[in-house]
Structure 1
Amino acid sequence: MAFADDAWRYVRDLAESELQLIYYVSYMFLVWGVLVAVSLQIVSAPYGRYSRKGWGVGLKANVAWVIQELPSFAVPLLLLAFSDSPKFHNLPNKIILGMFLIHYFQRTFVFSILIKGGKATPLVPFLMACVFCATNGYIQGRYLLKYADFSTDWERKPTFLLGIAMFFSGMFINIQSDSILRNLRQPGETCYKIPRGGMFEYVSGANFLGEILEWWGFAIASCTLPALGFAVFTTCNIGPRACQHHQWYRQKFEDYPKTRKAVFPFIL
C-alpha cells in the first residue's frame, strides 16, 4: 500500500512539474517576443531578401522550410498517438488542437512544395526555427491533450466562436497572400514587384497579417497561457518584419501606394 501511495505521489508531482514547465515556457515566449521585437528594430532577420553572410551555410529554401516547420505538426501528433488523456475526448480540445494541426499541415507540406526558388536559408535562423517549432508543438499539444479543462458549454461561448472565425479568416488571408506573392514574377524574372490584390491593397505584409490574425484567434478560442504566449511571440516576430518590408517597398518603388499601411489596415 505504501508503495502504491509513493508511486501515485511521484506521478502527481511529475504532472505538476510538467505543467509548471509548460507555464514557464509560455512566459518565456512572452519575454522572448519582446526581445525579438526590440532587436528587429536594429537589425533585420537574416533570410529572404535580407539574407547576408555570417549566419551559416545556406540551405535550399523549400527543404529548410519543411524541416523547420515539421516539428510543429509531428510533435502534437506523436503526443496524440501516445496519449490516454480523457480530456482529448472533449469537443473543444479536439477543435482547438485540430486548428493547430491544420495550419501546420498546410505550412509544412503544402506551402513548402509551392515555394518557387527563394533565397537560401542560413543555418542559424533555420536551427532557431527548428527549436522554436519543436518547443511550441510540445507545449500546445501537451497542454490541450492533458491539461486544458474547458467547460461543457465552451464551444457555444462567443469567445470560442469569435476565435474560430478569426483563425480561419487569417488562414485564408495568409494562403491568398502567399499565392499573390508567388505569382508576382513570370518564369525567368528575378525583379521585385509591388504586390496587389487581396489584403495587399491595405497592407504591405498581408501574409504576416493573416498569420497574426490566425494565432490571436487561436488564443481567443482557447484562452490558455501557451496560446497567448504563442500569439504574442508571433506578433512580435513577424510584425516588425512587415514594417521592414513596408519601408523597403517605399524606398524601392516611387509609385508605391501611399495609403497602404505596414501590417494593420488603416493603423500601422
Structure 2
Amino acid sequence: MVLSVLLPLIYPPPASIVITAMSVLGFVSLSNGGWMEIKGKHMQYSKLLGHDKSPKQQKVVPSKIGMAVLYTPAFLAGAASFWLFPVGGGDLRFTLLRAAVTTHFFKRVLEVLFLHKFSGSVDVEAMITISLSYFTFSATSIYTQYLTLGLAEPAIDLKYIGIPLFLVGIGGNFYHHYLLTTLRTKGEKQYKIPQGGLFSLVICPHYLFEIIGFLGISCISQTLYTFSFTMGTFFYLMGRSCATRKWYDSKFEDFPKDVKALIPYIF
C-alpha cells in the first residue's frame, strides 16, 4: 500500500544494488538512532550526556572543530557536484537538488563558524560517524538524481512544493538556532529554558524545521533515496526531541508541561 502511494511521486529506483542498499541502510540506521536516543543512549556530542564518563578512554576534539568536521565534507561534496556533473546544468530539478543540498550544509558550516557558542568537546568516533553519514547523504542524493536525467518525470511533480518547504525549513531552523545562542550572555554557562519563536509550543522547533527542510529536498528530488533518508531523519529527530524534552523536564522544576517535544499540540 505504501509503495502504491509512493510510485506516482518518485522516479523508478535505479537498477543499482548500492543505491537500494543505501536507501534501506540510511532509513534503518537513522530510525534505530532515534530509538537509542529514547532509551538514553545518546550520540557523544550532546548536553544530554551530562557528566557521565565512559569506561573506555575516548579521543576528543574541541566542539567547534568537531562540529565543523561534521558538515564540511557534505558541503564540499555538494559544491563539487557542479564541477563533476556539468552535463546536468540544463536540468532544473538536478540544479535545484544540488543547490538545496549544498546550501543546507553551507549554512551548517557558517553557523558553526559564526553563530553557535560551544563548550566542551566532541568524541572523535561520533564525529567521524556523523560526518560520514552527512557526506554519504550529500553525495548519494546528488548521484541518484544524476541517474534520473533523461527519465520520464514522476506523474505528480512536487519540485515547486519542495522549494518553499526547503526555504521555510532552512529559515526556521536558522532562526531558532539564533534564539538558542541568545539564551546565555557572555560568561554564563548554566542552561536555560529556550524562549521565543515556537519554543513556547515545542522544545525542539529547530528539529521540526530541519525535518521540513529535508522534506523540501525530498520533494525537489522525488527519488526513493531522499525520501528514505528524510523518513529516517524524522524518526531520529523524534527520538532526540523526546530525549531533549525529558532532559529539560528533569533539570527545571518550572518546565512547562504543555510544551511538546517536536510537533506542536501533538508530540
Tell whether the structures are fold-level matches, with TM greater than 0.5: yes
Match of 1:246 in 2: 245
Instruction: Give the C-alpha shift of residue 76 in structure 1.
Output: 2.7
Among 82, 85, 89, which residue is 2:84 paired with? 82
More helix by share: 1
Deviates more, 1:49-58 or 1:224-233: 49-58
Match of 2:116 in 1: 115
The 5-angstrom pairing of residues 205-244 of structure 1 reads 205-244=204-243
Query: Alpha carbons of 1:40 and 1:149: their partners in 2 closer, same or farther (altered >3 Å)?
Result: farther
Query: Alpha carbons of 1:232 and 1:119: their partners in 2 closer, same or farther (altered >3 Å)?
Result: farther
Instruction: Give the C-alpha shift of residue 168 in structure 1.
Output: 1.2
CA distance in 2, matches of 1:34, 1:210: 18
Q: Residue 62 of structure 1 aligns to which amino acid in structure 2?
A: K
CA distance in 2, matches of 1:81, 1:211: 27
Gaps of 5+ in 2: 1-13
The 5-angstrom pairing of residues 1-268 of structure 1 reads 19-42=16-39, 43-51=41-49, 52-54=52-54, 56-85=58-87, 87-149=88-150, 157=157, 159-268=158-267
Deviates more, 1:121-130 or 1:38-47: 38-47
CA distance in 1, matches of 2:161, 2:130: 29
Query: Alpha carbons of 1:149 and 1:108: their partners in 2 closer, same or farther (altered >3 Å)?
Result: farther
Instruction: Give the C-alpha shift of residue 151 in structure 1.
Output: 5.4
CA distance in 1, matches of 2:149, 2:257: 45
Instruction: Give the C-alpha shift of residue 257 in structure 1.
Output: 1.9
Does the Cα contact within 8 Å between 1:48 and 1:119 map onto a contact in 2? Answer: no
Instruction: Give the C-alpha shift of residue 247 in structure 1.
Output: 1.1
Does the Cα contact within 8 Å between 1:22 and 1:226 map onto a contact in 2? Answer: yes
Does the Cα contact within 8 Å between 1:169 and 1:210 map onto a contact in 2? Answer: yes
Does the Cα contact within 8 Å between 2:26 and 2:232 map onto a contact in 1? Answer: yes
Does the Cα contact within 8 Å between 2:166 and 2:217 map onto a contact in 1? Answer: yes
Larger radius of gyration: 1
Query: Alpha carbons of 1:129 and 1:31: their partners in 2 closer, same or farther (altered >3 Å)?
Result: same
Instruction: Give the C-alpha shift of residue 246 in structure 1.
Output: 0.7
How many residue pairs are counted as aligned between the two chains? Answer: 249
CA displacement 1:182-226 (0-9 Å, x = unmatched): 110011111111111111121001111111111112112322112
Does the Cα contact within 8 Å between 2:48 and 2:244 map onto a contact in 1? Answer: no
Instruction: Give the C-alpha shift of residue 102 in structure 1.
Output: 0.8
- What CA RMSD, in Å, does the superposition of the two structures yield over aligned residues? 2.3
Deviates more, 1:103-112 or 1:46-55: 46-55
Scaled by the length of structure 1, the TM-score of the pair is 0.84
Does the Cα contact within 8 Å between 2:82 and 2:98 map onto a contact in 1? Answer: no
Scaled by the length of structure 2, the TM-score of the pair is 0.85
Instruction: Give the C-alpha shift of residue 33 in structure 1.
Output: 2.2
CA displacement 1:70-128 (0-9 Å, x = unmatched): 1111113323312253x442112111221111111110233333221233111121110
CA distance in 1, matches of 2:89, 2:154: 15
% identity of equivalent residues: 22
Does the Cα contact within 8 Å between 1:140 and 1:227 map onto a contact in 2? Answer: yes
Match of 2:8 in 1: none
Gaps of 5+ in 1: 1-15
SS in 2 for 1:40: helix
CA distance in 1, matches of 2:235, 2:154: 33
